[in-house]
Structure 1
């Protein structure tokens, strides 16, 4: 059984959407992610899509690609469905990442943006394995993620930089450092694994399936 989190609250989801565009340096990380996903991909899976922001950015230069956007927040799903309503190549589906990924066929790209860090560490690792299994050979996994700082001082610096009180953090955050997650990906068989971009606790982790 999955445990309800604050993300099932409309107020919490709407508060996040209202400040998402203002997160410092977020667009820099997104730009690097966009540069790494081939323009020739035919199918894209977006995990924890929110309002569909990342998938919509990917679709700008890949209009013929088919996309599937997964989220479990009804507020986020409503926003994503509104965004993609005119686009028959995008399907928005309800799915909680606490549960195993459904079998939706192979994808050339699987992406996620600030979602996976809400999962427990064992579920993160299991999800990475499911992502590997669902990628086509040569497919790319890009995770623009909130990661752990090496020190409490740097963590507080990050929180202050994005305008948050360090004493009032999202209780659903379960942060893991970059190198640990890169090693998880390597152990699964991903190649070209690296942190392709980072600013404090925001990092872009990428791996390619051979």
Structure 2
């Protein structure tokens, strides 16, 4: 397995073109709509330069946040972005490894990061996320997923201005259907692909709320 994200050149190249990824803002917009304005704690896995977390904090400026990444370049960028924001804690951690001990969260988000993990690690990370969420909490994964055919993969690469020879060797893409099934089996509810354009997809699941006596159907 290859992971180029410890390379400053690779990270800087991504940051330079991040704003130009076609339809990216559409997926981000849907994610912003789905995360409740009332959340008190957010965990951002593979935060990069903190782009998505910063967007969430526009309407949730006081939300307590933990931003996780392992790329030195990305960590420097996210520290710079939030240098004056004491509500953001930044953790250096490789998602290939089990998440560190953390308190519960109302929302866990990720943007174009989990597809760099092995499929086995993807699923185990989803379990860890489920366990970290408060009842009623939301998991939003804006992700790079696998195309069902080679032709569609090549169409996606062309749309983002890349040749097949320029495909990122760090990618370990997985289809949407498999990941949705995993989330449901783990225990998430209302699981669906809330938005998709070719290989970009927003996968969302909610952790069930705790039922009280008043919730019981008589």
| Normalised TM-score (structure 2) | 0.94
> Are the aligned partners of 2:2 and 2:169 in contact in 1 as well (CA < 8 Å)?
no
Gaps of 5+ in 1: none
2:87 aligned residue: 89
Q: Report the CA distance between 1:4 and its aligned residue.
A: 6.9
Over aligned residue pairs, what C-alpha RMSD do you find? 0.8
Q: 2-side partners of 1:16 and 1:46: how far apart?
A: 18
Cα distance in 2 for partners of 1:68, 1:146 equals: 22
TM-score, normalised via structure 1 length? 0.98
Q: Can you list the C-alpha shifts for 1:19-42, whole angstroms capped at 9, x where unaligned?
A: 000000000000000000000000
Query: What are the superposed Cα offsets for residues 92-149 of structure 1, whole Å, 9 maximum, x if unpaired?
Result: 1100000001121000000000000000000000000000000000000000000000
**Aligned 1:30-179 pairs, distance under 5 A:** 30-179=28-177
Gaps of 5+ in 2: 209-218
For residues 89 and 72 of structure 2, the distance between their equivalents in structure 1, rounded to whole angstroms, comes to 15
Structure 1 residue 184 corresponds to structure 2 residue 182: yes
CA distance in 2, matches of 1:62, 1:95: 25
Structure 1 distance, partners of 2:88, 2:52, is: 13
Measure the CA separation in 2 of the matches of 1:103 and 1:34.
Answer: 27
Query: How far apart are the structure 2 equivalents of 1:183 and 1:4?
Result: 26
User: How many residues are matched?
Assistant: 208
- Could you tell me how far 1:5 is from its partner in structure 2? 2.2
Distance 2:52 2:90 in 1: 13
Mark the structure with the bigger radius of gyration.
2
